[in-house]
Amino acid sequence: MSKTNQSKKYADPTTENKKIESGKAENNRTEKNKTGKKEYFGTVCEIQRNSYNILVENKMIHAKLKGNFFKENEELPVVGDNVAFLPNENGDSLITSVCERKSVLKRPYAADRSMDNGKEQVMVANVDYVFIVSSLNDNYNFNRIARYVSMTLQGNAIPVVILTKADLCSNPGRYASEIENLSEQVKVHCVSALYGIGMDELNKYLQPGKTIAILGSSGVGKSTLVNALVQEDVMKTSEIRDSDAKGRHTTTHRQMIVLLNGARIIDTPGMRELGMCDMDQGIDDTFSDIAELEACCKFSDCRHETEPGCAIRAAIADGILSRDRYELYRSLHEESRHAAKMKDISKWRKQLKNGFFVRLILWLNWIVLLPMRMG
């Protein structure tokens, strides 16, 4: 378990702050703070460079990381994180730790994508539902949606696919059926935020205390959807290009919006592509039928090629499993396992590098002190 998760268990900010006020907080670290100040809990709503906006009981507090933050934490706070902080009435409050996350969405670190070094980027945390937004035009991509679903299930959240611009599609039901057949754990809704078609179906997710993350490519209607859900123009929108159905980035950073009933929506920048992290479990959850078939193969290490007693090849031959579905499952697993391998290599290189410098310092120290010892 990481240092971040060891610091504090998952905590609801409102509940924990009331416990602290009454002197009953189990995780209150007041005694450990040299200043003797009480720590409070809040939820990160927005991050601008090194500045954090924290929501605490309907109040927004500006904060920054405490100077020794990285001594006890391995990861930076992200939008959706519950954090412990020391309040400061005369300036920025100080974030001391990140509470344990109940869910987390990760992708390969975008800045190092070309290096293929296994680094991961945490996008958002503590979400209950993930609205995977795809428009019913040339932007629609089944394989991309499958990636989003696998990432969501891996992160311990519930995937909800929102097919937007239903008013421009002659047969939206065909696409909805295709997504429903992807996984038993996926919910699908065809909507038009512009004309209000299907929007009432989304109200059941917007419950007090629930957090929804909005994911999807640029130009699929995420900002328009958010404005419709909030019933206010809180996000900028832009038109897509007719030539390729691609849009421009209107959301430039992740931001949490709190509805009047207490539900929370996290809007995220559009992603042109979604690489795979180590998410074997999420893929198996998405394609649970294939995972169950693999368990029925005669050999546990069956490669589903020429081995006798292969349940996968039998299912494809009998028409129970489509070859396209299996190939998608296999390719996603290959990407995931490659990402896991690169992550392990990166960790090994870091340990080796740190060990080298430690040995170098000890060696230099020995060289410097040797004349003194001989004298």
Between CA 160 and CA 349 the distance in angstroms is 38
Q: Is residue 357 part of a domain?
A: no
- Say whether both 119 and 256 belong to one domain: yes
Quote the pLDDT of residue 41: 94
Segment 230-244 mean pLDDT: 57
Highest mean pLDDT among 34-43, 70-79, 188-197: 188-197
pTM of this prediction exceeds 0.85: no
How many domains are there within the chain? 3
Q: What is the pLDDT of residues 266-319, one digit of tens each?
A: 998 866 667 777 889 999 999 999 999 999 999 999 999 999 999 999 999 999
Quote the pLDDT of residue 322: 95
Q: What is the pLDDT of residues 127-157, one digit of tens each?
A: 999 999 999 988 899 999 999 999 999 999 9
- Say whether both 232 and 286 belong to one domain: no
Q: Is residue 60 part of a domain?
A: yes
Q: What is the pLDDT of residues 83-125, one digit of tens each?
A: 999 998 888 999 999 999 999 998 887 544 444 556 788 999 9
Q: What is the pLDDT of residues 32-73, one digit of tens each?
A: 455 567 889 999 999 988 899 999 988 999 999 998 887 777
Q: Is residue 11 part of a domain?
A: yes
The secondary structure of 11-47 as a DSSP string is --HHHHHHHHHTT--TT--GGG-TT-PPPEEEEEEEE
- Say whether both 114 and 234 belong to one domain: yes
Backbone phi, psi, residue 16, to 5°: -65, -40
Quote the pLDDT of residue 329: 95
Q: For residue 103, give both structure tokens.
A: 């869910």
Q: Which amino acid is at 67?
A: G
Q: Give the domain extent around 212.
A: 104-267
- Say whether both 36 and 152 belong to one domain: no
- Say whether both 83 and 47 belong to one domain: yes
Q: Is residue 348 part of a domain?
A: no
The residue from 77, 98, 119 where one domain ends is 98
Q: Is residue 355 part of a domain?
A: no
The secondary structure of 60-110 as a DSSP string is EEEEEE-TTHHHH-SS---TT-EEEEE--TTS-EEEEEEPPPS-EEEEE-G
372 pLDDT exceeds 70?
no
Highest mean pLDDT among 10-24, 65-79, 226-240, 327-341: 327-341
Q: Is residue 273 part of a domain?
A: no
Q: Is residue 371 part of a domain?
A: no
Q: Is residue 365 part of a domain?
A: no
CATH of the domain at 309: 1.10.40.50
Q: Band of the pLDDT at 27, cuts 50, 70, 90?
A: very low
